[in-house]
Amino acid sequence: MRLPRPFQRLAVHFDAARLRAEVEALPATAWVDHPDGIAGNSALRLISSGGGENDALAGPMLPTPQLARLPYLRQVLASFGVVWSRSRLLRLAPGAAVPEHADINHHWFSRVRVHLPIVTQPEVRFHCGGESVHMAAGEVWIFDNWRLHRVEHGGTAPRIHLVADTSGSAAFWQFVQRGAAQPAGAPGAAAAPLPFDPGLDAMPLTEQAPAPYVMPPGELELLVQDLRAELVALDASPAADSRLAQYHALLDALCRDWRQLYALHAQAPQGWTEFERLRDAARARVQVPGAGLAMASNRVAANRVLEGRVLRAGLSLERALARRPARPVFIIAAPRSGSTLLFETLAASHGVTTLGGEAAWLIEGIPALRPGAPGVESNRLTAAHASDAVAARIVDELVGRRVDAAGRAVAADTPLRFVEKTPKNSLRVPFLERVFPDARYIFLWRDPRASLASIIEAWESGAWKTYNGLDGFEGPWSLLLPPGWRALRGRPLAEIAAFQWQAANRIALDDLGQLPRERWTSVRYEELVCDPRATVERLCRHTGIEFDAALEVRVQGALPLSRYTHTAPAPDKWRRREGEVLGVLPAVMPTWERLERLERLAGDDAQSKAYPYCAISGPSRPATSARSCAS
């Protein structure tokens, strides 16, 4: 926040010795490295986003467990009668420094930083706007962090300051104004420090209002106007004047187009991608004309200020992404591999939330992710397709529509584990990783003979149509759409089925293989139906899903048929289409062998003994499981 002068000491004093005793009683593990990685700088979080161990600037801001251990420090903060934003203890090692910089991001436009030294030495000097002060222990200072500032520590012991952010109430700023006549270098306040009250369990007020995902146009225009008021060219030349005029024109265009988009979409998730495009286009267009332009007061480059104060904050989706369910579980499987049966089984747990069933709409409800959109040739999606706006929209939809085992809506902050299954996701693991970076995966696979027969049956039934009028394919398409699907035009249905099974399993294995092994596990469909209890218990242990009484009832006998069962299962049902299946089996044999090796490499000896598999002997005499289960 800009202030009339670089430093101002407030006319209040606190008991530094009492504060020091509280701080020194905190565990050493509570201190973390400075978020910017500045050597010799560390922090202890007191008020943070959600009260967690983070340095985010998006609220709601809540006290951390560390603040609960500091009764006098809570009284100190509460005594100001203001609403606090992110607040920390900042520690500076002897000989360390805070490099010269200006705080230019959006957070600082309306907030001032309050410093209360707790442990310090005279050799600690704070420089700002050409002035230098030593902030003594127990004093309270504010300073103009829009100006260039730095800190030097020439002492022999660590320096610790309480550093707290607030926009300040009217009473706070009136208090500041009353002390404004006191010179920064004058002796400290003579009044006795505010004493600790052992009968007062104070808790400071903290910011609760969530920042909007999309900055309203009025605020964006205010920020741009403030930037333009200080915009200057560092060199005097006709070329610099031209760049300056072009920059102003680009800022005008950004404000006008932002207001138009906001009139159309406001905060609706459907508009986030368009705001993202507008922001990114503006970011690219200002690069050349912005070279050599800066702020008159602190000489910070214009493009840096525009980025930190306007563009990054204009579409701030941190809050939406922060609502991601912890460690969601995705069942990854080729079509007709039994994923619905596994999903419905796990969803019986009262510790699980879902979207009520297979949720293909969660991703394909976004037009930019549907086949035929620019850069989307099939159901294959990578991390490049998951922009912040796309990821935030998916999270927002998911959180708002989750249900529990009884089909009841659940609160956004519910700790229940989220489970989803959509066969198309076998082609989207990198995309899911970008949206849900702590996800867990269950890779389910099935004997290809049974899967191929079921895929053929699904196509012929017409019940699994997914796309009509694909350019390059005659008639409707069923099930997932793998990369390279155009080559299947006019090919027999069995070849299409083999291509889908092969692509889904091969791509999923390739993508999962890039993740740490503890992030995913595999299970064979035949294992699930033959021994559901042991199999589900193993999967629950791996994913953290609660194996509760409801789930135990579900798996105590043979599993019920899934909702998408087309015809009743039966041993060797695939032989009804034996000719078609055996005709394409050589094409999928490498992937089948890879799946068999996957189980052996898993090192699960108990599983191997319970479900021995004969060696794969080729399509003319296909191997059969030594234990027969319904297909």
Q: Which domains does the chain have, with CATH numbers?
A: 7-206 (2.60.120.330), 217-320 (no CATH), 329-610 (3.40.50.300)
Question: Distance between CA 464 and CA 602 in Å, rounded?
Answer: 33
pLDDT confidence of residue 629: 42
Do 230 and 109 touch, CB atoms closer than 8 A? no
pLDDT confidence of residue 36: 81
For 576, residues 6+ apart whose C-beta sits below 8 A from its C-beta are: 453
User: HSE (CB half, 13 Å, CA atoms) of 408?
Assistant: 6
Question: Distance between CA 47 and CA 602 in Å, rounded?
Answer: 44
pLDDT confidence of residue 568: 63
Alpha helices in 195-237 (DSSP H): 217-229
pTM of the model: 0.79
CA-angle at 437, arms to 434 and 441, nearest 5°: 105
pLDDT confidence of residue 604: 44
Question: Distance between CA 455 and CA 462 in Å, rounded?
Answer: 11
Of the candidates 358, 357, 363, 353, which has an alpha carbon nearest to the alpha carbon of residue 409? 353
- 95 in the Ramachandran plot: left (φ > 0), alpha (ψ -120 to 50) or beta? left
Q: What's CA 625's distance to the chain center, in Å?
A: 43
- C-beta pairs of 596-605 under 8 Å, 24+ apart in sequence: 598/509, 598/522, 599/522, 599/524, 602/521, 602/522
- pLDDT beneath 50: ranges in the chain: 603-631
pLDDT confidence of residue 606: 38
pLDDT confidence of residue 619: 36
